[in-house]
Amino acid sequence: MNLLHFRLAAACTMTLLLTSVAWGQEQDGDKVDLAALTQIKNQAFQHSQVMENLFYISEVYGPRVNNSRNHRAAAEWAMQRMKEWGLQNVHLEKWGPFGDGWQIKKYYGALETPAYATLIGFPLAWTPGTNGPVTAEAMLVPLHSKDDFAKYKGKLRGKIVLIFDPRELTLHNDAEAHRLTDEEVTTRTKTPDPSHTGFGPGRPGAAATPGEYTPATLSTAAPSGRVLRNEVNAFLKEEGVAVALTPGYNGDGGTVFASYGGSQDPKDPVGPPVAAITPEQYNRICRLLQHGITPTLTFDIETEYQKDDQMGFNVVGEIPGATKADEVVMVGGHFDSWQGGTGATDNGTGSSVAMEAVRILAALHKPMARTVRVALWGGEEEGLYGSLAYVQQHFAPRDTMKKTPQYDDLDVYFNDDSGSGRFRAVSALGNAQLAAIFQSWIAPIKDLGMEAVVGLTAAPTTQPGGTDSTSFSWIGLDGIGFMQDPLEYGTRTHHSNMDLYDRVQKGDVMQGAMIEAWFAYNAATRAEMLPRIETPAPLTKDQQPAR
Ligand SMILES: [Zn+2]
């Protein structure tokens, strides 16, 4: 035990004494190490590499559709960096099988007649190429459900079909980027009426009518999306469609939001090439058709399915603990992305922040009692596959909840996957002790905009969904997320062709990395492991696994 650890242990004993004196009144939280905080800030703000990480992840390797060559190359680069920083046990951890990798090799789209225009857009993931340039007539074929198939049977051969109604676009009156005001942050710390159904933060967006085709229902990673994609792809293929087009499910003004189009599972039907184009241009083609003018379009699309390795992978590395190496604090985010942009904010930022957090901790040369492990998950976009596989393999399969010896040694997992925005609050998963501890950690960093603890009473998510922290909570481990300023995540970058490096705010990700390092440091050095959320019961026979 070195001097630092002795002091820490002494301080913690003091805290314990104070806590027991105050027992039954209020938890005091932790006494934090301000000298360490100063060092962490110095590394994070004077020697930051977070944008350099992001540059490589997004601009050099490009979009990282799961299992694609880009994704694998970026993972090799990340492992190299981790080794340079002195991390140990740096490796790829395979899971799966996941299925085929996929990436774009070429995209060209144009309106040829009645007047030439290039078409801003990109192919949907896991859809094939055109096998050279294809020029054909456009046809508006809005598919609202499979009931519409009969209407178009035998009429689509060789056509370029627009499979959704034109999208109604509105003026952008509101600012596209938003930072939470202090008041908004405070509002979000309030727990809603616990008698309300859906107690907790709730789930976004009610599902559309089952079986309804929209650009959103056809692109969702939820199991329902796969069913719909398979139906539509099988129909369009059968009908001999040359290319299918969608206006994306969100965005305009050159920004197209689109993701899934086919399937990584080689057993699923492969449809025709499918591209998303900007809704203004999509609508123009629709209006021409509605005026009795049939436009001619050209597409030249090349995509590549990578079939050589069907296994998915996570990138893992660690800083071994000095005295309690078996106990593990984890940080991470998903490393895979969609294909339209370069996955800069989803989730280049969370990945570069997690890498920077462990770089900072390694650079401090301050021994931490527990091991700090970084994980860059794969397959998040298709359904949290990488983290779900990891937690079940390392800690407990959800169905039996048969715990491995590592289950009790996993202290906490901190996740970053909400875009570029700075951290404004941290979730306490409804655990009052955890909330008190986090309050003491954020007290000396409130000047950085990290102001609050949210979810003081709300029950933690019991189903995996949204992002990888929920995979941990699903089996009763503390999977912690940060509430971030939304900036342009929903309006411009999340799963769009504008998910690019320049949309990332440098100061924000520097702040995020600093806070993630600080949280990991505190967890890795405090006397006790953090209090846990409730352990769920094994699943009964009729409870289907979530995925
Ligand atoms: Zn994401």
d(CA 420, CA 33): 28
Q: How far, in Å, from the CA of 348 to the mean position of ligand 1?
A: 9
Whole-number mean pLDDT of the chain?
92
Q: 456 C-alpha to center of ligand 1: Å? A: 25
Tokens of 303: 């995509």
- The residue written with tokens 């990991």 in the block is 520
How many angstroms separate the alpha carbon of residue 291 from the centre of ligand 1?
41
Measure 545 CA to ligand 1 centroid, in angstroms.
22
Among the residues of 30-181, which ranges form H helices? 34-46, 50-54, 69-84, 149-152
Task: Give distance in angstroms: CA of 486 to centre of ligand 1.
Answer: 13
Instruction: Copy the structure tokens of residue 509.
Output: 């990700």
- Which tokens go with 359? 């770089």
Q: Grade residue 192 by pLDDT with cuts at 50, 70 and 90.
A: confident
Q: How far apart are CA 28 and CA 200, in angstroms?
A: 25
Question: How many angstroms is it from 96 CA to the middle of ligand 1?
Answer: 20
How far is the centre of ligand 1, averaged over its atoms, from the C-alpha of 497 (Å)? 15
Q: Which two tokens stand for residue 422?
A: 């700075």
The one-letter amino acid at 94: K
For residue 92, the surrounding DSSP H or E stretch is strand 88-95
d(CA 261, CA 225): 9
Distance, CA 106 to ligand 1 centroid (Å)?
25
Between the CA of 305 and the centroid of ligand 1 the distance, in Å, is 22
The secondary structure of 307-330 as a DSSP string is: -S---EEEEEEEE--SSEEEEEEE
Ligand 1 centre distance from Cα of residue 346 (Å): 4
Please give the distance, rounded to the nearest whole angstrom, from the Cα atom of residue 470 to the centre of ligand 1: 13
Determine what percent of the chain is predicted with pLDDT higher than 70: 91
Model pTM score: 0.92
Cα 230 to averaged position of ligand 1 atoms, centre (Å): 24
Confirm if 409 and 327 have CB atoms less than 8 A apart. yes
Give the separation between CA 319 and CA 412, rounded to whole angstroms.
15
Residues 68 and 101: beta-carbon distance below 8 Å: yes
What pLDDT band is residue 205 in, cutting at 50, 70 and 90?
A: very low
56-60, 207-211, 264-268, 290-294, range with the lowest pLDDT: 207-211
Compute the distance from residue 419 Cα to the ligand 1 centre, in Å.
8
Q: Ligand 1 centroid vs 418 CA: distance in angstroms?
A: 7
pLDDT, tens digit (0-9, with 9 covering 90-100), for 455-504: 888 776 678 989 999 999 999 999 999 999 999 999 999 999 999 999 99
Give which of 353, 339, 351, 340 is closest to 377, Cα–Cα.
351
CB–CB of 310/98 below 8 Å? yes
Both tokens assigned to 488 = 């342009």
CA 263 to ligand 1 centroid distance, Å: 19
Rounded distance from Cα 137 to ligand 1 centre (Å): 37
Distance of CA 25 to the CA centre of its chain: 39
Task: Identify the pLDDT of residue 207.
Answer: 53
Long-range contacts formed by 34-38: CB under 8 A, 24+ apart = 34/444, 36/364, 36/366, 36/521, 36/525, 37/444, 37/445, 37/518
Under 8 Å between Cβ of 328 and 341: no
For residue 358, give every residue at least 6 positions away whose Cβ sits within 8 Å of its Cβ, in sequence order, or none: 82, 85, 87, 317, 319, 331, 372, 374, 517, 520
Total Cβ atoms within 10 A of residue 272: 23
Ligand 1 centroid from CA 374, angstroms: 17
Of 83-97, 108-122, 304-318, 530-544, the least confident: 530-544
- What is the tens place of the pLDDT at every residue in 259-285? 999 999 999 999 999 999 999 999 999
> Residue 208: its pLDDT value, please?
62
Provide the token pair at 306: 């990578």
Kindly give the distance from the C-alpha atom of residue 335 to the centroid of ligand 1, in angstroms, as a whole number. Answer: 8
Give Cβ neighbours of residue 466 (< 8 Å, ≥ 6 apart).
Answer: none
Q: For the segment 294-353, what is each residue's pLDDT rounded down to a tens digit?
A: 999 999 999 999 999 999 999 999 999 999 999 999 999 999 999 999 999 999 999 999
Q: 518 vs 36, 51, 153, 523, CA distance in Å? A: 8, 19, 60, 9
Question: pLDDT tens across 140-183, in order?
Answer: 999 999 999 999 999 999 999 999 999 999 999 999 999 999 99
E-strand ranges in 370-519 read: 370-377, 410-415, 423-427, 452-454, 479-484
Shortest CA distance to 464 belongs to which of 531, 382, 523, 407?
Answer: 382
